[in-house]
Structure 1
Amino acid sequence: MRELTTGPRVLLKRLRELMAEALEPQVRLDRIVNEIAKNMVAEVCSFYVLRTDGVLELYATVGLNPQAVHLAQLRLGQGLVGTIAATARALNLTDAQSHPAFAYLPETGEEAYNSFLGVPVLRAGRTLGVLVVQNRTKRAYRDDEVEALETTAMVLAEIIATGDGTRLARAGIELDLGRSMSFTAGGYNDGVGLGHVVLHEPRIVVNNLFNEDSEAEIKRLEDAIGSLRLSIDDMLSRREVAAEGEHREVLEAYRMFAHDRGWERRLEEAIHNGLTAEAAVEKVQSDTRARMVHLTDPYIRERLSDFDDLANRLLRQLMGRDAKTVAESLVKDAIIVARSMGAAELLDYPRERLRGVVLEDGAATSHVVIVARAMGIPVVGQAKGVVSMAENNDAIIVDGDAGIVHLRPQSDVEAAYAEKVRFRARRQKLYQELRDKPSVTLDGENVALFMNGGLLVDLPQLEASGAVGIGLFRTELQFMIASTFPKAEQQEKLYRSVLEAAGDKPVTFRTLDIGGDKVLPYFRSTGQEENPAMGWRAIRLTLDRPGLFRTQLRALLKASGGRELRMMLPMVTEVAEVKAAREIIDREVNHLSKFDYQLPSKVKLGAMIEVPSLLWQMGELMDAVDFVSVGSNDLFQFLMAVDRGNSLIADRFDQLSPAFLRVLRHIVESSLRHDTPVTLCGEMAGRPLMAMTLIGLGFRSISMSAATIGPVKAMLGALDASKLNKLLQGELDKHNDAHSLRELLLKFAQDNDIPL
């Protein structure tokens, strides 16, 4: 009887020799199936390759009718071979023809064979084909034979994935490796990007598949797993890892997998069968992913992500690779594809080469999305499975408008999107021509168009967009991309750079707005909040941590020496908070004056109207501040009790609803009565239809992302504000049970030739 390890090792040795020979791809395949049949004492060995059209085509066989090669075909899910490809699971049958999935192909002549063993050909969790052995006698193949065939299938996967794959494809037929795929996900930032995939955590390519010394490879594996376990234990023991919470849960999952004896045993078996330690890790990882990727249970899928990360860490240990992202040698049209990534990691990539970001995880409010939005990069999130299906340098299209990703798009799709990009470029050229022209409505109303910012990368857009200033500078972004609290000197340097870049244009700094969905990894509250959006955040947090607030105020005051400083308080719920903040500001001014620092020529304090309680304190609020800004996103969320991050209800309410428009009108009327300037900051301001509505309500100052200033200015030039005001006043004054005024406003724009 054969020794259990002899067969697979002999087979792999022969396959290594075949791969080293200068052979035509088809000849190599024919020789390989012959070697497999001989080694496993099988009367039939067949290799099916998955095409882009979802058809499995017989590419090589020994034992079946040789005329059936390239003629015998099965759809994905059809027959035993199609079932293996669809499920990514092996089938070991003593009587193949009695299996309910059996499909008879007369051209093959396989009716004479009873026992059947088929395994999927996998690479990075993707099924590329199916490898089959058959015998006339009814027998169950042994576990070591199944393992040997799976190991051999891994070698075939490399053949398909490398140069031989493209040479194997026949005229008019493409193999599945280059199949076009589309992912419908979430559009987190508008825009369209065409480019090539850059995997944020590049997949480690294992080139050395065959081992020379199994015991030496086992020792390498044991050392790498030992180092991996120590590194995980070290991370868990660090002070910054809380005793509870998601971060710790992820690391605990890593530790569980790292100590899983079953996982280690499968790795050792693959090495005993002739693979190197790293090839064994890749094989087991690919097998596990292929089996689990079809499961719908979100918890299991999350654990799969943990397992992938752990396996990649082990591969890096074995191959001596640095885990850091390599931003050098980046393609000029890079679209970053990642499971998740931090905001600071995105800033490591050269901005001029970025065309988009695709995330498997993340939310519209995650830090990296906020930074990408500030950089004007299209973002699509929740694109499940895209990382395992993508390879570096694959062509890819990101449609942030529709929330769609096209991986390896077909030529007609690429052409359609290329035209869309050209159209957007032509529109941008039109907007550039409007840059230096005044933003005035058709009936002579001046409207101040400000831009929102938060990072140094935003500053060049101030001049390029034609904005009259920065209406909202989100100071928290500096904190969100840092690994520790930015020191006072760092904050002062940033604020000074912003003011210098703005020149004589005004800048409104919003004081630190953290908490809620803006969590700093190095700053933890005292406990878990059930509803963080309405919890300890923004002005509440900074008033409770006056040391943090004073450090920022001092940096702002020093940076603004000799010029006007405009500060805005976020998430104000009562006027008492404004008065408490002003007292702290006054104390800081007095403190700095004692040490002869140059102080701002004037300090103006404003408040953001984001909480409905302020709507009944408008008089007191206007008396307590120098200006107000409407945070339309949060105000709408709190007023209508709609969580914008909840996909089940995100589209349920419309910001053009009569109820919300009445609230906005009330704010404008209050500002006019008290002679207090009002600006609206938020997504509403950057959408031409909504911006048109705001002007019709009486807003004369709005702040938006730099990219949307051009479209809004183009709209303004065709708008008769007084005419729209009359229409809106009439609609809002009468009994109105409409869900939204959107259709009415669209008709007004259409009737008056207003570009949207």
Structure 2
Amino acid sequence: MAKTLSFTCELPNGVHARPASHMEQFCNKFASSINWTNTRTGATGDAKSVLSLIGTDTLLGDKCLITIDGLDEDEVLQQMQAFINGEFAKCDEALPQASHEDKDVAPLPRSLANLAPVTVRGNNVSTGIATGKLVSVNAFDFEKLENLPALRSMDEEKSSMASGLKALAHGIERQLQIAHGTESAILKAHLSIVSDTSFHQHLMNRVSEGSSCAEAIIATARHFSNQMKQSKSEYLRERELDIRDVSFQLLQQIYGAANFDNKLVLTEDSVCLAEDLTPSQFLELDKKHLKGLILSRGGSTSHTVILARSFKIPTLVGVEQTALNSAIGTQIVVDANLGLVATNLTDPVIRYYDQELNVQKTLEQQQGVFKNIQAQTEDGKRLEIAANIALPIEAKAAFNNGAESIGLFRTEMLYMDRQTAPDEDELYNIYCQAIEAAHGKAIIIRTMDIGGDKPVEYLNIPHENNPFLGYRAVRIYKEFFELFKSQLRSILRASAHGSLKIMIPMISSMEEILWVKELLSQVKHELRENKIPFDEKIPFGIMLEVPSIAFIIDQCCEEIDFFSIGSNDLTQYLIAVDRDNEKVANHYNSLNPAFLRTLDHIVREVHRHGKWVGLCGELGAKGSVLPLLVGLGLDEISMSAPNIPATKARLAKLDSKECRLLLNKAMACRTALEVEHLLAQFRMVQHDAPLLTSDCIILDSDLRSKEEVIKTMTDNLYLAGRCRYPNKLAEDLWAREDVFSTGLGFGFAIPHTKSEHIEQSTISVAKLANPIMWGDEEVRFIIMLTLNKHAAGDQHMKIFSRLARRIMHAGFRDGLFNSKSTFEIEQTLKTELEM
């Protein structure tokens, strides 16, 4: 007699793909048939099929009945109870839910906002600006299929279906042999669908009822897609895309790709709009014409987004397709710096983005010369500039962007967003892929920093109140011993093919170092015994992020080869500030003199013992802090790849001895604010830039509005290296314009501000080809005063007053209006202002 078991579903998100997969794997170990009934809906599914289980629509609180019938039913019943209360009850804790709530978005720059653009906001995951025709890229639409292949005999249809499923499964298995990371996880998901008993059964049932293979596939795709579309789970909706993808591949497998072609051909500069794209769909798009990408779904770490980043395609996610349906076929702008799509483009908005693209192009040209040269200071001091990556596909883009090494390969991404851990061979192939892109340059592989704030669902690590200080990184390695050992083996095996270094995160004591080294020695011994090659002298290092290590550097140097400072965690641990806690986040400041003194102590002690030390936190990419990092004498700094050219360019303008003196002064400061002022003054006097130069004078420009003038002049300061954040400087100018217009009559305007966003105080000039309205005044000549607030004193009001008085004189005005060169304007102003 069949056995039954009843229980209440305790999964917060119900039975979606992930818990269904756990149940399927458990049930397939037994011979008995196992059926799952949701008593609320009355739906019954085969517990050995993920798709069938999902079809029961089981939600939190639903009463469920499991029926077991077969020779081993007693054993199943006994183990099922323990499974449901144990593993199954815990497999749904960390699944994120999609949210379409309105989020706070940063305000638009005033020079754009004043133009009243029509915009849709999104989340930027690959920066840049692109223009092009908006094109919809949809997954294969089974509702629009016409002229299906003719129906054959039932035996032929059954044979074609069976052979098609078998061939498709074999094809995916072959792809899996060479796939890596996220691509591998996608292929495994597709293989699980192709092998699913309910998927097979639904297809074959349709054929047995008289449908052709094409009709059966379409009906099956609709059936399972409709089930998944109704789910509130983001994960499950993503599986709906997989169902359509696999069904389409099956159609192609049986009837040939020529009969079912969904390839989009781009014939002009285009921005592609899609709900989601698989990596293969993205790779099929012609990159010559693909200028931007807009996705409804996806995150910053999805494989498609990482591909877009590597191709430098500006990309937004989280944009509702319906908000852009009316813009399909029209020219739009994707501004992935501000996180928006601009539609219904007016001429002023088009001109705004023409200027933005011009600035982007000019900046790339300025910084491009530094991509392929060795990073060093003006006086020849070397500082290696490295890249941080999370997946191997990012390595090539990083080296193309000027990276001299990979300073941090965050391997935890290889373990996340999947149902099982990667095996040794998969990891080995991933590391080899990065090595191939490096062409002999070094790669530091940080072992998995998972747990804590980076949950991995299949490990079932309990949630913690303070994950940053909790059970994570090296602290979980003993419990997940085989997982860690597998990673060490894969790194060592890959080291035979290139320059790899091993780095362990979250080290806080000598005991941890010795334990890892002992295991590493054991793994090396096993590889030698099996005659598997590896680098016998592979460097071994640790992340220095826990303050305790700063006080045992001498002992650490006896056991390790290098250190890499994790500035983000070291800051919050040293100052005891949770940077994600809004109430104390204002205390999180890496310019705290205590933190700077700690860094100085670390670097001096490491170098005193003849070892190497780098820094791989967010601090490395902050241009304003670079002089302090140079002053520390670090051997390397690592950052996201897009920041590398700018960092090399800034580094080339610094003198290492001046930077050391600056650091000494910063460490003597009493507050972080004092350090900020010190850095501002250093930037201002660094090259003793004159207040007025020809570089900041624009002649006969076709600027058509106040917005264009302020934008162009602040952008010019940015390109001249005098301003870090042109939009913020422009906002300071607009703030004064809000109080009163700076149009003075006689065709002149003098916008002015004291701002922290101007590094070298500057008088900028623009003589326009045609007059524009400036408030109620018609203006053709603009003299803009942007003075550093830390050093300006009352200088800007003195200059403003003198200019206002001189403008009253016709001779002065005529001299400026009639000037034929920037040199004439420069000399006239210098004489009149007694500079």
Q: Which residue of 2 aligns with 1:744?
A: 678
Deviation at 1:414, TM superposition (A): 3.1
Deviation at 1:355, TM superposition (A): 4.8
1:533-556 superposed Cα distances (whole Å, 9 cap, x missing partner): 433332223332111111121112
The answer to whether 1:686 aligns with 2:612 is no
Q: Which residue of 2 aligns with 1:428?
A: 364
What amino acid is aligned across from residue 129 of structure 2 in structure 1? Answer: V
Q: Which residue of 1 aligns with 2:518?
A: 583
Matches within 5 A, 1:187-266: 190-195=127-132, 197=134
Deviation at 1:478, TM superposition (A): 3.5
Deviation at 1:713, TM superposition (A): 1.1
1:661-706 superposed Cα distances (whole Å, 9 cap, x missing partner): 3332232222222222111113322232233331123223111222
Q: Distance in 1 between matches of 2:682 and 2:491?
A: 44
Matches within 5 A, 1:660-679: 660-679=595-614
Helix, strand or coil: the match of 1:671? helix
Q: Which residue of 2 aligns with 1:513?
A: 449
Q: How many residues align?
A: 483
For 2:403, which of 467, 473, 478 is the aligned residue? Answer: 467
Deviation at 1:563, TM superposition (A): 5.5
Q: Which residue of 1 aligns with 2:427?
A: 491
The answer to whether 1:617 aligns with 2:552 is yes
Helix, strand or coil: the match of 1:473? strand
1:385-416 superposed Cα distances (whole Å, 9 cap, x missing partner): 67545555554434444444434443322332
Q: Distance in 2 between matches of 1:348 and 1:604?
A: 40
Helix, strand or coil: the match of 1:561? helix
Matches within 5 A, 1:524-539: 524-539=459-474
Q: Distance in 1 between matches of 2:279 and 2:454?
A: 12
Contact map agreement 2:432 2:497 (CA 8 A) in 1: no
Q: Which residue of 2 aligns with 1:181?
A: 118
Contact map agreement 1:688 1:715 (CA 8 A) in 2: yes
Deviation at 1:606, TM superposition (A): 0.8
Deviation at 1:307, TM superposition (A): 11
**Could you say if the C-alpha distance between residues 454 and 343 of structure 1 is closer, same or farther in structure 2, counting changes exceeding 3 Å?**
farther
Contact map agreement 1:371 1:477 (CA 8 A) in 2: no
Q: Distance in 2 between matches of 1:612 and 1:342?
A: 43
Helix, strand or coil: the match of 1:703? strand
TM-score between the two structures when normalised by the length of structure 2 = 0.49
Matches within 5 A, 1:305-320: none
1:559-580 superposed Cα distances (whole Å, 9 cap, x missing partner): 2227553111122233322222
**Could you say if the C-alpha distance between residues 478 and 393 of structure 1 is closer, same or farther in structure 2, counting changes exceeding 3 Å?**
farther
Q: Distance in 1 between matches of 2:603 and 2:671?
A: 23
Q: Distance in 2 between matches of 1:647 and 1:364?
A: 23
Helix, strand or coil: the match of 2:673? coil
The answer to whether 1:568 aligns with 2:536 is no
Deviation at 1:321, TM superposition (A): 8.9
Q: Which residue of 2 aligns with 1:718?
A: 653
1:590-610 superposed Cα distances (whole Å, 9 cap, x missing partner): 001001122214121111122
Q: Distance in 1 between matches of 2:459 and 2:283?
A: 24
The answer to whether 1:704 aligns with 2:643 is no
Deviation at 1:373, TM superposition (A): 5.9
Q: Percent of pairs identical after alignment?
A: 29
Helix, strand or coil: the match of 1:567? strand
Q: Distance in 1 between matches of 2:274 and 2:663?
A: 45
Contact map agreement 1:201 1:338 (CA 8 A) in 2: yes
For 2:492, which of 557, 577, 599 is the aligned residue? Answer: 557
Helix, strand or coil: the match of 1:472? strand
Helix, strand or coil: the match of 1:434? coil
TM-score between the two structures when normalised by the length of structure 1 = 0.54
Helix, strand or coil: the match of 2:667? helix
What amino acid is aligned across from residue 714 of structure 1 in structure 2? Answer: A
1:306-329 superposed Cα distances (whole Å, 9 cap, x missing partner): 799989979x99xx9999997744
Contact map agreement 1:335 1:358 (CA 8 A) in 2: yes
Q: Distance in 1 between matches of 2:469 and 2:280?
A: 27
What amino acid is aligned across from residue 729 of structure 1 in structure 2? Answer: N
Deviation at 1:188, TM superposition (A): 5.4
Q: Which residue of 2 aligns with 1:152?
A: none
Q: Distance in 2 between matches of 1:650 and 1:201?
A: 42
Q: Which residue of 1 aligns with 2:537?
A: 602
Q: Distance in 1 between matches of 2:127 and 2:569?
A: 20
Task: Give the root-mean-square deviation of aligned CA atoms.
Answer: 4.6
**Could you say if the C-alpha distance between residues 687 and 386 of structure 1 is closer, same or farther in structure 2, counting changes exceeding 3 Å?**
farther
Contact map agreement 2:474 2:504 (CA 8 A) in 1: yes
Q: Distance in 2 between matches of 1:474 and 1:548?
A: 16
Deviation at 1:358, TM superposition (A): 5.5
1:184-206 superposed Cα distances (whole Å, 9 cap, x missing partner): 66655543344455668679899
What amino acid is aligned across from residue 128 of structure 2 in structure 1? Answer: G
**Unaligned regions of 5+ residues in structure 1, if any?**
1-124, 126-178, 209-280, 286-302
**Unaligned regions of 5+ residues in structure 2, if any?**
1-99, 101-115, 146-221, 252-260, 690-720, 725-835
For 1:454, which of 363, 385, 390 is the aligned residue? Answer: 390
Contact map agreement 2:134 2:273 (CA 8 A) in 1: yes
What amino acid is aligned across from residue 635 of structure 1 in structure 2? Answer: L
Contact map agreement 2:571 2:588 (CA 8 A) in 1: no
Deviation at 1:448, TM superposition (A): 1.1
Deviation at 1:484, TM superposition (A): 4.0
Q: Distance in 2 between matches of 1:663 and 1:720?
A: 23
**Could you say if the C-alpha distance between residues 581 and 442 of structure 1 is closer, same or farther in structure 2, counting changes exceeding 3 Å?**
same
Contact map agreement 1:610 1:632 (CA 8 A) in 2: yes
